[in-house]
Amino acid sequence: MVRKVSIFGSTGSIGRSAIDVICNANETGAAEFSVEALAAGRDVEGLASQALKLKPKIAVIADESRKVELAALLAGSGIEVAAGEGALNEAAARPCDRVLAAIVGAAGLGSTLAAIKAGNDIAIANKESIVCGGQLMLGEARQSGARIFPVDSEHSAIFQCIGDGRSLENLTITASGGPFRNWSLEQMATATPAQAAAHPVWSMGIKNSIDSASLMNKALEFIEAAVLFDVAADHINVLVHPQSIIHGMAHFDDGSVIAQLGCPDMRTPISYALGWPDRIPTTVDRLNLAQISNLEFFEVDEERFASIRLAREAMGAGPAARVVLNCANEAAVSAFIAGECGFLDISRLVEAALERFSSGNFASSKCETLEEIAEISRYGRFLVSQWLNNAPSRAGG
Ligand SMILES: NC(=O)C1=CN([C@@H]2O[C@H](COP(=O)(O)OP(=O)(O)OC[C@H]3O[C@@H](n4cnc5c(N)ncnc54)[C@H](OP(=O)(O)O)[C@@H]3O)[C@@H](O)[C@H]2O)C=CC1
Ligand SMILES: CC(=O)[C@@H](O)[C@H](O)COP(=O)(O)O
Ligand SMILES: [Mn+2]
């Protein structure tokens, strides 16, 4: 059986790990994959070299100004070349067995929705799109019959543990604690982007890495778990586990707790989401608990890390507040990377945006359409840019 996949965000960390899974399976004969579409944002050279190797039917670059360059790099290959948002959506809707949604940020929502509407099953890494449009995605999936398989390591773990969901009491997602797990607030105030991106365990794109440092990654994942598994927020725990060996747990009403363990390598959850119901063999290191010897667990310190509290508040405030939380965070992380604000300003900016938003006209929006979500996203980003423009330079403060 040939498994036809499309990879959106192919040049990123998740995209490259997925390609490794696919190539390894094809080379060893463990499974047979073919690639329908590859898509990226701006990296034409990376995309072209992947395309020449994997021979997709189509390669799409989101940045339209780079289409000519992509076409030149793929001239004579027989691979169709396209660019822009419309082309991303069209390619996502082409029939295949799985669309891997691995674009970073809310920018990935449109193509994922297009794929779902076409009835394609989704392997979803792009948590920001779930936070902003999870209900919309699930509603469209019910209509089209598309299934949504989690890729995020914690959610893949829960998916592997939860069974049919009967007798479930609680879920736990683990957090490494990030590079600043033991830093004081004074130290974090002067943290640089390079320090924030230096994740102690996982190798990831810069945005997810910085989110891990502020624990906003876990805040987004908390909302992601509530949406994907339809579990109330007060039944979802976050536990700091620096070794990142246990990724998630399902707690049942007879006292049983089922956990998923594995070396921290995204090729495991990616292969599970691409292969389900089969497991696709990978070259991931095998777990040796005797060698690791010590697994630690701690509560989140909410004095130093405000993100989980902000996510709980946004969950209580409704779907539009989640969009603001996510998009204010995206804008604040970009500002931090650009040296326009300090590390601790990221959660301050998100909190300020949520506060301002709660008293505005959009607060009760149900986010039932992509357009509505886009409008609230723009507003969330605007609130952050307004604050940055009015504040004196805070970089490092
Ligand atoms: N990395 C990880 O281990 C994990 C990541 N995730 C989630 O997966 C997603 C991807 O993360 P990661 O791979 O780390 O991110 P990266 O930054 O490494 O890669 C992002 C990918 O998205 C593409 N992209 C960016 N903007 C656009 C756009 N507007 N349109 C089309 N494509 C775009 C990039 O293209 P280009 O290269 O051309 O810029 C790149 O291919 C995120 O949502 C993240 O939260 C979840 C769990 C773990
Ligand atoms: C690999 C993965 O799923 C990341 O989202 C991971 O969760 C990041 O690590 P933190 O636990 O530090 O956020
Ligand atoms: Mn995760």
Place of tokens 């969009």: 323
| Axis crossing angle, helix 370-390 with helix 319-337, rounded to the nearest 10 | 40
Between CA 5 and CA 2 the distance in angstroms is 10
14 labelled ligand-binding: yes
263 plus 233 within the same structural domain: yes
Helix, strand, coil percentages for the chain (3-state, nearest 5): 50, 15, 35
Residue 205 in tokens: 């794109």
In-domain check, residue 313: no
The alpha carbon of 204 and the centre of ligand 3 are apart by a number of angstroms equal to 10
- What is the best residue among 212, 221, 222 to mutate for testing ligand 2's pocket, by most ligand atoms within 8 Å of CB? 212
Query: Are 8 and 48 within one domain?
Result: yes
- Find the CATH number of the domain harbouring 77: 3.40.50.720
Is 163 found in the same domain as 146? no
| Per-residue pLDDT, 363 | 83
Given the cut 0.95, state whether the ipTM is greater than it.
yes
> DSSP character for 12?
S
pLDDT for res 390: 87
Which residue, 84, 115, 150, sits at the end of a domain?
A: 150
- Contact in structure between 221 and 215 (CB atoms under 8 Å): no
208 Cα nearest atom in ligand 2: 5
Closest ligand 2 atom, residue 212 Cα: 13
In a domain, 83, yes or no: yes
Q: Is residue 222 part of a domain?
A: yes
Report yes or no: 150 and 273 within 8 Å, Cβ to Cβ: yes
Q: Which two tokens stand for residue 154?
A: 């914690």
Contact 239, 298 (CB under 8 A): yes
Tell me, yes or no, whether 8 and 146 share the same domain.
yes
Parallel/antiparallel/unpaired status of strands 122-124 and 168-175: unpaired
- Which of 391, 289, 299 lies closest to 345 in space, CA to CA? 391
Q: Which of 208, 214, 216, 307 to mutate to test the pocket of ligand 2 (most atoms within 8 A of CB)?
A: 208
Last residue of a domain, one of 102, 127, 150: 150
**pLDDT for 34:** 98
Of 86, 22, 85, nearest to 55 by C-alpha is 22
Q: Which domain holds residue 324?
A: 318-390
Q: Tell whether 371 and 286 lie within a shared domain.
A: no
Query: Could you tell me if 167 and 145 lie in one domain?
Result: no
Residue 392, pLDDT score = 59
* Residue 396 included in any domain: no
**376 belongs to a structural domain:** yes
Asked if residue 3 lies in contact with residue 98, where contact means CB atoms within 8 angstroms, the answer is: yes
Residues 33 and 113 grouped into a single domain: yes
Distance CA 331, CA 335 (A): 6
Residues at CB less than 6 angstroms from ligand 1 = 9-15, 39-43, 46, 62, 102-104, 107, 125-128, 152, 202, 204-205, 207-208, 266
Residue in 203, 217, 218, 221 to alter for ligand 2 test, most ligand atoms within 8 A of Cβ: 217
For the record, the structure tokens of 298 come out as 């701690």
Of all protein residues, the one whose alpha carbon is nearest to atom 1 of ligand 2 is: 153
Closest CA to 273 of 69, 127, 100: 100
Exposure string over 69-106, b if 16+ CB within 10 A, otherwise e:
bbbebbeeeebbbbbeeebbbbbbbbebbbbbbbbbbb
Residues 211 and 224 in one domain: yes
Residue 297 lies in a domain: no
- Strand-pair partners of 260: 248
| Beta strand pairing call for 122-124 and 98-101 | parallel
The pLDDT, as a whole number, for residue 396 is 40
Residues in the chain: 397
Nearest CA to ligand 2 atom 5: 152
Structural domains of the chain, count: 3
Residues 244 and 370 in one domain: no
**Average pLDDT per consecutive 10 residues, the chain (397 residues; last block may be shorter):** 98 98 98 98 98 98 98 98 98 98 98 98 98 98 98 98 98 98 98 98 98 98 98 98 98 98 98 98 98 97 98 96 98 98 98 93 88 96 94 51
Q: Which of 150, 181, 205 is the last residue of a domain?
A: 150
Q: What predicted TM-score, i.e. pTM, was given to this entire model?
A: 0.98
Residue 82: per-residue pLDDT: 99
308 occurs within a structural domain: no
Asked if residue 332 lies in contact with residue 341, where contact means CB atoms within 8 angstroms, the answer is yes
Q: Do 144 and 160 reside in the same domain of the chain? A: no
Q: Is residue 328 part of a domain?
A: yes
Q: What is the 8-class DSSP label of residue 395?
A: T
Asked if 97 and 230 sit in the same domain, the reply is no
Q: Are residues 20 and 137 in the same domain?
A: yes
